[in-house]
Structure 1
Amino acid sequence: MQTWDTDVVVAGAGPAGLMLAAELRLAGARVIVLEQQDRATAESRGMGFTARTLEVFDQRGLLPRFGELSRSPGGHFGSVPVDFAVGDGRHASVTGVSQARTVAVLGEWAAELGADIRRGHRVTGFTDTGDGVEVRAEAPDEEVRLTAPYLVGCDGGRSAVRRAAGFDFPGTDATAELLLADVRDLALPPKWSGERRPGGMLLAAPLGDGMTRVVVSEHGRAPRQRTEPVSFEEVAEAWKRVSGDDISAATPLWVSSFGDAARQATEYRRGRVLLAGDSAHVHLPASGQGMNVSIQDAVNLGWKLGAVVTGRMSEALLDTYHAERHPVGAALLRNTRAQAVLFLGGPEMQPLREVLTDVFRGEEAARMLAGLVSGLEIRYDVGPGSHPLLGRRLPDVPLVLDDGEKTSSTRLLHPARGVLLSLGADPQPARTARKWAPHVDVHSAHLADTSPAGETVDADAVLVRPDGYVAWVAGSGDLHTALRRNFGEPIE
């Protein structure tokens, strides 16, 4: 019998890798995270959370770790203004939380749960043996070899795991290059937000604590094949060419560049190797979706892979990871490519921007775009039935349990187990689900009230997966089938 060093090796300790590691630990799986950087980076491409990521963090009790959060009703789609707080305000995002802060919080949480996070370890190769993987990594003064049933690449857009495993990664190359710098002591006050000049596009946004992020793109300037990192001198020179203003006296804290390449792996799993986050999809970082979709990839995969490696479920459950998340990634590329046309296009795009500005003022259009960017409109195919809750995330509603305890549907998901929530008089769903303990928690309760956002659960009973999505609703399909599909065989 094979003795594994761990159950899962995760390559990459970014938001996706750390979220996945924590979810695996909650599922009872052992996990080792290999990260080539020897310390957590202070660099932050992502600057906040979409509404769905806020819900994901809330269902694990993580939000207090981030401190006070402020929702931003404003937003844009390819620089065209959109009211993301349309209607009940649920679609509004949170800004001002750096990706570095997110990595720090997730890393601390994963470590508390028992994840083995090894920094300064660069994955150099692996072998898929058919029943597991042998992973090779370089660490200071040593070579490391690990064995595990599965390897997950969460190592970014240039993923070494994706390349070594031979995943197809089709799409389009970058047509533009955007230069970025986080600076202090900027002489000019931040007054641009996607402002266009004849020569290009400018953006300056305050980051707090005296820092400002500046981004500049020049029309007609092809992306460079860089062998060295971009310098702040390049950023300042490009800024001056486009705006006429000199920002060279500012103090650079971080300088980088990015483009509008759009690529997606054709499959998210090949044998014993899976991909999540930027390893599976790259795109223009528009509307803050990249890190958020990556975190949601990890939450979808974590409970499934955890159930497989701990022997509760067959590998067939992993097929649902690709089936559910690949369409989300495809939609992500589609909307960010559309935004790139609006955001990076020259004066010829201005009439379209003006027309769309008027269109997006309409509540229906704003709600559609807000749902697209926020992730709140995601609905998975979880089996037969037409109930509006099927395949969607369970709304956050206040509950009173039968013993009188006050709680909420979101709080019931903190342990990352399945939940059978019985809200009606029929005791049979609860009796049935108790055969799947301890993988499914059974709660009988009644709604205390509608949620602050006006949401409710219009059903007598619902079965909820560990990731918060509804797998069965009373009156839609067979409960036994849904339990077996998601949680294996009953424990008699």
Structure 2
Amino acid sequence: MAGAGPVGLMLATELRLAGTRVLVVERREEPDTAVKAGAVNTASALAFDRRGLLPALEAALRRSQPEAPRAAGSRRPPFVGHFGGIPVPADPVDRSDPDLRDRGRTGWYLMVPQVEVERVLSLRAAELGVEIRRGVEVRGFDADGAGVTAHLSGGDDVRAAWLVGCDGGHSLVRRLAGFEFTGTGPGITGRQAVVALEGGERLGQGWQHTPTGVYAHGPTPGRVRTVEFDGPPADRHAPVTAAEIEASLRRVSGVDVRVTEVISAARFTDNARQASDYRRGRVLLCGDAAHVHSPFSGQGLNLGLGDAVNLGWKLAATVRGWAPEGLLDTYTAERHPVGAWVLDWTRAQVAVMRGDADTRALRGVVADFLGTRDGATHYVKRVSGLWQRYDLGGGHPLVGATMPDLRLDDGTRLAEHAHGGRALLVDLAADDRLAAAAEPYAERLELIRGGSQGSGLSGLLVRPDGVVAWASADGDTAGLETALIRWLGTGTGRPG
């Protein structure tokens, strides 16, 4: 595997959990500490919860943003996010909506910086015995029907059954494998940084639209972002200097500020491209290697983590030899539409950021919509990832959605039973037919037996990635055998 960022580490831990050997090579000697994503959404937090990593993520949240004591009667934060720099108010959100209520430990998102997410996953990878070689990169590879020979820097060759490119938006794996990577080119230069700033008190707080661009100041002290519509940077990979940040802030804000130190900084554009397929033979793409877009609304990290969770168990099943026919192809089929939506979501945000009169008028209309109950609720569902579900065919409404956060009668939560990374067959009605169906799959799933007050369910089959593959509310087991064969192959009762 190429790339040991959060996506590569998440995929590596999923593969190791499923019993496969993994080698990860990463060209950087040390983890990247540049300012990047600032939060994980509900879909990602639930994935961490299913693997027992949510406490570590919450601890990282406390380290990075220790909460100040709240004053009596203080209100919740006034905004739930932004769309193209348009603040989305929290008060209109319908918290009684079935998708949003009772979110429990995960909430709608956790404000954990990407560097902390990577740290949590690095520790987990080490615990599981993932081999990571830092300061090493894939320089080329030869692929055939039986596997891939990767040529590494330093002259080493490694033979593997599969190669996964988790090596970012400029993926060498993607380019060398010949993936088609189409979309729209960049039209902006964005900069985000944490800096030491003089005169910052004269800047507006939050997102500010001006005739010359968009800027944001805070809420973290020293955090600034600018967007200018003058085309992409001449050299995106050159060091971001204090003078560059200062000049951009002055141009966009019109305020005479001074940047005295850059603590962390990065550039970005609105280049929006996606691989037409995430697999070519024995080579796969995951995360930014498969799709690139601007960072607005913080979808990139979460999209990549979702890719990794979806791919991990399917690739492991293929390596171990028990995958049903076509299982690995469902990775592209399920994740490509989600990636396409994210690209359009970010394109739309760039469209409402411009400073001309027509765009200002459009921005006013969008702001009005986002201020309504339906608009704010729709926004939260989208950015939290709660809208995502896969089309797995008919049946119960839960099929294709993330498994519900059930509390069982023995006091455990269903997520606690998913720590081992296997599929779950959940018998909530003491139905011996489910136990009989589970027996041939003893090494591929865990049978959970017990009640769950008020769940309205009699049984669930949950894939290793937390997606419901079969559900019943009335004790009818029709479709269970078909779902087992479709996702877990032909049962043997022995390790795959």
For the Cα contact (< 8 Å) 2:426–2:461, is it kept in 1? Answer: yes
Cα 1:185–1:442 change in 2 (3 A) is same
What letter is aligned with 2:212?
G
State how far apart, in whole Å, the 2-side matches of 1:56 and 1:169 are.
28
State how far apart, in whole Å, the 1-side matches of 2:415 and 2:198 are.
43
The TM-score with structure 1 as length reference comes to: 0.89
1:77 corresponds to = 83
Equivalent residue for 1:334, pick from 332, 344, 359: 344
1:58 corresponds to = 49
Equivalent residue for 2:309, pick from 285, 299, 314: 299
Equivalent residue for 1:375, pick from 357, 377, 385: 385
The TM-score with structure 2 as length reference comes to: 0.89
Matched, 1:435 2:444: no
Cα 1:95–1:433 change in 2 (3 A) is closer
1:459 corresponds to = 457
More displaced stretch, 461-470 vs 439-448: 439-448
Deviations 1:154-185 (A, max 9, x none): 00000000000000000010011112222135
Equivalent residue for 2:161, pick from 132, 136, 149: 149
Deviation at residue 318 of structure 1 after TM alignment: 0.3
For the Cα contact (< 8 Å) 1:399–1:447, is it kept in 2? Answer: yes
Q: Secondary structure at the match of 1:74?
A: strand
Deviation at residue 232 of structure 1 after TM alignment: 2.4
State how far apart, in whole Å, the 1-side matches of 2:198 and 2:118 are.
27
More displaced stretch, 152-161 vs 237-246: 237-246
What letter is aligned with 1:41?
D
For the Cα contact (< 8 Å) 2:212–2:355, is it kept in 1? Answer: no
Cα 1:186–1:291 change in 2 (3 A) is farther
Deviation at residue 217 of structure 1 after TM alignment: 2.2
1:105 corresponds to = 120
Q: Secondary structure at the match of 1:317?
A: coil
1:125 corresponds to = 140
Equivalent residue for 2:401, pick from 371, 392, 406: 392
Matched, 1:177 2:209: no
State how far apart, in whole Å, the 2-side matches of 1:184 and 1:102 are.
25
Deviation at residue 448 of structure 1 after TM alignment: 4.1
1:87-486 correspondence to structure 2 within 5 Å: 87-88=95-96, 89=100, 93-94=108-109, 96-138=111-153, 142-189=154-201, 191-207=204-220, 211-219=221-229, 221-226=230-235, 228-314=238-324, 316-383=326-393, 385-400=394-409, 405-448=410-453, 457-474=455-472, 475=476, 477-486=478-487
Deviation at residue 483 of structure 1 after TM alignment: 1.0
Cα 1:447–1:186 change in 2 (3 A) is farther
Deviation at residue 230 of structure 1 after TM alignment: 3.5
Cα 1:322–1:345 change in 2 (3 A) is farther
State how far apart, in whole Å, the 2-side matches of 1:314 and 1:146 are.
28
Q: Secondary structure at the match of 2:421?
A: coil
Q: How many residues align?
A: 464
Deviations 1:206-235 (A, max 9, x none): 33xxx422111234x222331633422122
Cα 1:344–1:335 change in 2 (3 A) is same
Cα 1:286–1:75 change in 2 (3 A) is same
Deviations 1:251-308 (A, max 9, x none): 1012321111110000000000000100001111111110011001000000111111
Deviation at residue 434 of structure 1 after TM alignment: 2.2
Q: Secondary structure at the match of 1:305?
A: helix
What letter is aligned with 1:280?
A
What letter is aligned with 1:256?
A
State how far apart, in whole Å, the 2-side matches of 1:270 and 1:214 are.
40
Segments of structure 1 that go 5 or more residues without pairing to the other structure are 1-9, 450-456
Q: Secondary structure at the match of 1:135?
A: strand
What letter is aligned with 1:279?
A
Q: Percent identity?
A: 42
2:2 corresponds to = 11
Cα 1:285–1:439 change in 2 (3 A) is same
Deviation at residue 371 of structure 1 after TM alignment: 1.7
What letter is aligned with 2:218?
A
Deviation at residue 315 of structure 1 after TM alignment: 5.8
Segments of structure 2 that go 5 or more residues without pairing to the other structure are 62-66, 68-75
State how far apart, in whole Å, the 1-side matches of 2:378 and 2:416 are.
28
Equivalent residue for 1:44, pick from 27, 35, 49: 35
Deviation at residue 344 of structure 1 after TM alignment: 4.1
What letter is aligned with 1:166?
G
For the Cα contact (< 8 Å) 1:16–1:276, is it kept in 2? Answer: yes
Q: Secondary structure at the match of 1:316?
A: coil
What letter is aligned with 1:464?
V
What letter is aligned with 1:286?
F
1:25-36 correspondence to structure 2 within 5 Å: 25-36=16-27
Q: Secondary structure at the match of 2:258?
A: coil
Deviation at residue 367 of structure 1 after TM alignment: 2.2
State how far apart, in whole Å, the 2-side matches of 1:441 and 1:284 are.
40
What letter is aligned with 1:463?
L
Deviation at residue 478 of structure 1 after TM alignment: 2.1
More displaced stretch, 369-378 vs 108-117: 369-378
For the Cα contact (< 8 Å) 2:80–2:380, is it kept in 1? Answer: no
Deviations 1:390-446 (A, max 9, x none): 11011112112xxxx320111111111010001124321222112210211111111
What letter is aligned with 1:182?
V
For the Cα contact (< 8 Å) 1:232–1:252, is it kept in 2? Answer: yes
Cα 1:31–1:121 change in 2 (3 A) is same
Q: Secondary structure at the match of 2:20?
A: coil
For the Cα contact (< 8 Å) 1:217–1:344, is it kept in 2? Answer: no
Deviation at residue 93 of structure 1 after TM alignment: 3.9
- The alignment's C-alpha RMSD in Å is 2.0
What letter is aligned with 2:459?
A
